[in-house]
Amino acid sequence: DVKVTQSSRYLVKRTGEKVFLECVQDMDHENMFWYRQDPGLGLRLIYFSYDVKMKEKGDIPEGYSVSREKKERFSLILESASTNQTSMYLCASSFYRGETQYFGPGTRLLVL
């Protein structure tokens, strides 16, 4: 079974802090994704990566950056957290583009 793990289930940070969210997958998938999930808005794509050291902006990249130094690890960085970044963050990976994505359990981030 594909396993996608995220470093924290719950996180509380203060405005202005730098926040790192880590995601690791164990199935040698090329493709990795970061989404945020807000009630009534579904999933919105923040960034994705189709290869090591490669990154592409999704629909809402402002205020976020990513890092993919190793194939299995994709990190989301909030350079200076703001209260409007309070959300559920979901990481996913896939073998083929446009095909089934496998999700981690999510990180619920609260920015005070």
Partner 1 sequence: AQSVTQLDSQVPVFEEAPVELRCNYSSSVSVYLFWYVQYPNQGLQLLLKYLSGSTLVESINGFEAEFNKSQTSFHLRKPSVHISDTAEYFCAVSDALDSNYQLIWGAGTKLIIKP
What's the min distance (Å) between Cβ of 1 and partner 1?
11
- Look at residues 26, 48, 45 and name the one whose alpha carbon lies nearest to residue 37: 45
- Minimal distance in Å, beta carbon 6 to partner 1? 8
Judged by beta carbon, residue 17 or residue 102, the one nearer partner 1 is 102
Q: Based on CB atoms, which residue is closest to partner 1, 21 or 92?
A: 92
Q: How far is the CB of 111 from partner 1 (least distance, A)?
A: 20
Choose between 85 and 107: whose C-beta lies nearer to partner 1. 107
* DSSP code per residue over the chain: ---EEES-SEEEE-TT--EEEEEEESS--SEEEEEEEETTTEEEEEEEESSTT--EE-S--TTEEEEEEETTEEEEEESS--GGG-EEEEEEEESSTTS--EE---EEEEE-
- Shortest Å distance, C-beta 80 to partner 1: 27
Residues that bind partner 1 (CB under 8 A): 4, 40-45, 48, 56, 58, 90, 92, 96-106
- Closer Cβ to partner 1, 9 or 18, answer by number: 9
